[in-house]
Amino acid sequence: MQISSRFTIATHILVVLGLEGEATKVTSDYLAGSVGVNPVIIRNVLSQLKAAKLVAVARGTGGAKIVQPFDQISLYDVYEAVDSLGKSGQLFGFHDNPNPDCNVGRNIHAVLDGRLEEAQKALEHQLQQTTLADLVREAQEKSHVEGERI
């Protein structure tokens, strides 16, 4: 199973807002151009970020803004905001019907479940260690090295 691209799209949106949100009106069309997706996808992700109280969105062409301090928004917050895990809450999907008459099928949950839960916890812990402030700072540094203006 793979985490939905909504997570990376949401992170991209927040970095753009963090870098340009004060100086530029950042609309869904503007964000769509940066992310490379349809503005409807951007609006859907912005809606999820708004529901999580990470951004405010003005109707029409008013644009979006981050409403929390950058150092208080972690990648884990973004991961939760865009419902990266779906209804199951599990990073790893498990096939539904392992054969109970097979030695492996009968025991596969006992063999894998704990390890997969630990892997998910490790990922979530790592996401909690990175803030939007970290990403914005790194994006600024990279743009200065490449001679770009963000």
Assign domain 6-145 to its CATH architecture: Orthogonal Bundle (1.10)
pLDDT (0 to 100) of residue 115: 95
- Indicate the pTM of the whole model: 0.85
* Spatial distance between the Cα atoms of 107 and 117, rounded to a whole number of angstroms: 16
Average pLDDT over residues 134-141: 95
Average pLDDT over residues 73-82: 96
